[in-house]
C-alpha cells in the first residue's frame, strides 16, 4: 500500500501545479510563496551552521498558535536553537508574519506536498535535527523518509477520531509501520492514547491538550474602538463559515427588537468572504461596515465585518458574549469546531453549535464549568444573548482561572518530555 501511495502522489504531482494556480486565483494561496509547496528551488533554505534545528509542522492557525508557547519556552532555555515552522493554510502563513517577526532564529515556510522526492529534497536541504508534527498531521512519505535519514520524529497533541482510527485499521500493517516510527507521542486526549497503543506506537503520553496552554500577553490588550464598544451593546461571531453568517444576521435582527442600537461584529474564518457577507447583510437591509486594520467603527453601522487577521483578542477582551463558528454546519460534523480557549481565557461567555468534534474534549471541560453553552438555532442564541446584554458587566471572578491552571500544568509536563526528546542524543 505504501508503494501504491508513492506512485499515486508522484502521478498527481503535475496536476498539483494546476490545483495551486486555481487556489491562487481564488485567493486561497499566498501569491508569492505558494511555490514553496511544490518546487524544491523555492524552499529558500537558510544555513543553520552548527546550531540544532528543530522543525515544527502545524497545519493551520489553531495548531500554529498552540506551539508558540512551546517554541518560546525552548528559546528561553536555549538561545542557540534554531527553528523551522511550516504551515499549510494561507491564514496561518499570514499570521506567522506577525507572530514570528519578534523572534530571532525562526523561519516560516509552507509545507511541501507529501510527494516522495519533494519531501526527500526538503529534509536533505534543511537537515532538521528533530521533527515535531502537530495534531493529526500524519504524512507517510515524510515520516518514513525521516526514519531512513535517522531524524528523530515526534507527534505532539496527537489526535485520532474513531473515524480516522477505523480508516487506518483498514490497512493495519501499513498503519503500524507508519505510526511505529514516532519516537515520542503526546496525545491530546485519552481516546487517542488508546488508539495509538493499538497502532504499536511507543513512548505514548497524555499530559493534556496543548491548546490550553496559550501565550501570556506581553502587553495590555487594547483596541482603538474600546470607547465605542464600551458605550454599545454588542456581541461577536468569530471564525464563522459559509451559511453560519445568516444565523448570526437573523440573531441580530431578533436582538434589534429588544435593543435598538445593538452591534454585531463578525470575524469570518476566511476574510476573502467579507464582501459575500456584506452583500448578504445588504439583502436584509442592514447597515454594514467592512472594518480594516486601525479603522474606527462608524457610529450608524450595525454589522461590522472584520477584514484583517491578528486582532481578534482585542475584541474578545471587551466582549461578554462570543459565538464561535464552524459549529452549526452538519456537513462538517466530523471536523467541526474552532478553538475556543482564547475567548475563554479572556473571560467571554462562549456559544457554539452542536458540531464541535475537533474540539469535543475542550468544549466538554468548558461546558462543565459553565464557560460555554451549546445552541442549535438563532432563536436559542438570541435568548442567551438578551440575558447577557441586559447584564453587561463581566464577572469579577474570572472564569479563566481554571483554563490558566490547566494550561500551566500542561506546559510544564509537556516541556519536560519535549526537552528530553530534543537533547537525548541517543535517540
Q: Please give the pLDDT value at position 317.
A: 87
Cα 138 from Cα 187, distance rounded (Å):
14
User: Which range is least confidently modeled, 42-51, 183-192, 231-240?
Assistant: 42-51
Q: Report the 10 Å Cβ neighbour count for 198.
A: 15
Tell me if the pTM is above 0.85: no
Report how far apart, in Å, the C-alpha atoms of 119 and of each of 11, 16, 130, 144, 156 are.
Answer: 15, 15, 15, 10, 20
**How much of the chain exceeds pLDDT 70, in percent?**
96
pLDDT at 127 over 90: yes
Cα 59 from Cα 136, distance rounded (Å):
9
Cα 264 from Cα 252, distance rounded (Å):
6
Q: Please give the pLDDT value at position 396.
A: 44
Phi and psi for 206 in degrees, rounded to 5? Answer: -115, 110
Q: Please give the pLDDT value at position 217.
A: 53
Report how far apart, in Å, the C-alpha atoms of 212 and of each of 19, 60, 320, 342 are.
Answer: 35, 17, 20, 9
Neighbour-count burial of 189, counting CB atoms closer than 10 A to its CB (0-12 exposed, 13-18 middle, 19+ buried): buried
Cα 61 from Cα 239, distance rounded (Å):
11
pLDDT tier, 399 (very low <50, low <70, confident <90, very high otherwise): low
Beta bridge partners of 86: 57, 109
Cα 215 from Cα 222, distance rounded (Å):
16
Query: DSSP letter at 376?
Result: -
pLDDT digits (tens, 9 = 90+) for 301-357: 999 999 998 788 889 988 889 999 999 999 888 789 998 998 998 889 999 999 998
More confident residue, 394 or 47: 47
DSSP 144-165: HHHHHTT--EEEEEE---HHHH
List b or e across 387-425, with b for residues whose CB sees 16 or more CB atoms inside 10 angstroms.
ebbeeeebeeeebbebbbebbeebbebbbebbeebbeee
Q: Please give the pLDDT value at position 425.
A: 59
Cα 119 from Cα 70, distance rounded (Å):
25
58 in Cβ contact with 135 (< 8 Å): yes
pLDDT at 401 over 90: no
Q: Please give the pLDDT value at position 404.
A: 83
Give the contacts of 124 (CB within 8 A, at least 6 positions apart): 149
Question: Considering Cα of 328, then 311, then 404, then 60, what sign does the dihedral take?
Answer: positive
Report how far apart, in Å, the C-alpha atoms of 175 and of each of 2, 131, 193 are.
Answer: 10, 19, 15
Full set of structural domains in the chain with CATH: 2-213+408-423 (3.40.50.11720), 226-403 (3.40.50.2000)
Report how far apart, in Å, the C-alpha atoms of 192 and of each of 209, 210, 328, 380, 409 are.
Answer: 11, 14, 25, 33, 20
pLDDT at 427 over 60: no
Cα 374 from Cα 333, distance rounded (Å):
14
pLDDT digits (tens, 9 = 90+) for 56-110: 999 988 899 899 999 999 999 999 999 999 999 998 888 888 888 877 889 999 9
Q: Report the 10 Å Cβ neighbour count for 186.
A: 28
Q: Report the 10 Å Cβ neighbour count for 183.
A: 19
Cα 109 from Cα 125, distance rounded (Å):
13
Cell digits of residue 128: 532538521
Cα 101 from Cα 107, distance rounded (Å):
10
pLDDT digits (tens, 9 = 90+) for 203-222: 999 999 998 887 655 456 78
List b or e across 340-351, with b for residues whose CB sees 16 or more CB atoms inside 10 angstroms.
bbbbbbbbbbbb
DSSP 96-127: HHHHHTT-SSEEEEEPPPS-HHHHHHHHHHH-
Phi and psi for 47 in degrees, rounded to 5? Answer: -75, 115
Amino acid at each position: 500500500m505504501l508503494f501504491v501511495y508513492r506512485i499515486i502522489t508522484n502521478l498527481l504531482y503535475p496536476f498539483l501545479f494546476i490545483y495551486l494556480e486555481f487556489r491562487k486565483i481564488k485567493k486561497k494561496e499566498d501569491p508569492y510563496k505558494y511555490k514553496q509547496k511544490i518546487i524544491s528551488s523555492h524552499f529558500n533554505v537558510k544555513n543553520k551552521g552548527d546550531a540544532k534545528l528543530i522543525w515544527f509542522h502545524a497545519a493551520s492557525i489553531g495548531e500554529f498558535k498552540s506551539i508558540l508557547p512551546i517554541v518560546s519556552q525552548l528559546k528561553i532555555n536555549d538561545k542557540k536553537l534554531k527553528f523551522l515552522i511550516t504551515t499549510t493554510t494561507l491564514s496561518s502563513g499570514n499570521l506567522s508574519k506577525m507572530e514570528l517577526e519578534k523572534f530571532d532564529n525562526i523561519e516560516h515556510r509552507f509545507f511541501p506536498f507529501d510527494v516522495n522526492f519533494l519531501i526527500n529534497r526538503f529534509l536533505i536541504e534543511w537537515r532538521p535535527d528533530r521533527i515535531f508534527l502537530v495534531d493529526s498531521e500524519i504524512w507517510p512519505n515524510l515520516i518514513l523518509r525521516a526514519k531512513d535519514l535517522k531524524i528523530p520524529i515526534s507527534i505532539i497533541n496527537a489526535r485520532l477520531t474513531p473515524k480516522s482510527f477505523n480508516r487506518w485499521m483498514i490497512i493495519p500493517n501499513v498503519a503500524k509501520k507508519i505510526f511505529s516510527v514516532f519516537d515520542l507521542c503526546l496525545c491530546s486526549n485519552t481516546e487517542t492514547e488508546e488508539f495509538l497503543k493499538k497502532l504499536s506506537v511507543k513512548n505514548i503520553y497524555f499530559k493534556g491538550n496543548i491548546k490550553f496552554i496559550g501565550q501570556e500577553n506581553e502587553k495590555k490588550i487594547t483596541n482603538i474602538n474600546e470607547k465605542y464598544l464600551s458605550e454599545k451593546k454588542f456581541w461577536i461571531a468569530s471564525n464563522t463559515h459559509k451559511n453560519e453568517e445568516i444565523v448570526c444576521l437573523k440573531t441580530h435582527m431578533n436582538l434589534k427588537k429588544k435593543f435598538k442600537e445593538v452591534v454585531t461584529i463578525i470575524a469570518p474564518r476566511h476574510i476573502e468572504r467579507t464582501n459575500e457577507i456584506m452583500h448578504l447583510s445588504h439583502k436584509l437591509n442592514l447597515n454594514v461596515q467592512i472594518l480594516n486594520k486601525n479603522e474606527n467603527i462608524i457610529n450608524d453601522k450595525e454589522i461590522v465585518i472584520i477584514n484583517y487577521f491578528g486582532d481578534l483578542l482585542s475584541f474578545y477582551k471587551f466582549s461578554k458574549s462570543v459565538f464561535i463558528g464552524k459549529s452549526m454546519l452538519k456537513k462538517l460534523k466530523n471536523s467541526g469546531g474552532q478553538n475556543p480557549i482564547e475567548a475563554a481565557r479572556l473571560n467571554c461567555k462562549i456559544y457554539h453549535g452542536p458540531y464541535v468534534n475537533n474540539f469535543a474534549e475542550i468544549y466538554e471541560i468548558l461546558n462543565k464549568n459553565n464557560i460555554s453553552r451549546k445552541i442549535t438555532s438563532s432563536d436559542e442564541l438570541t435568548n442567551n444573548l438578551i440575558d447577557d446584554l441586559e447584564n453587561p458587566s463581566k464577572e469579577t471572578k474570572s472564569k479563566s482561572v481554571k483554563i490558566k491552571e490547566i494550561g500551566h500544568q500542561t506546559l510544564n509536563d509537556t516541556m519536560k518530555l519535549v526537552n528530553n526528546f530534543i537533547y537525548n542524543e541517543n535517540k
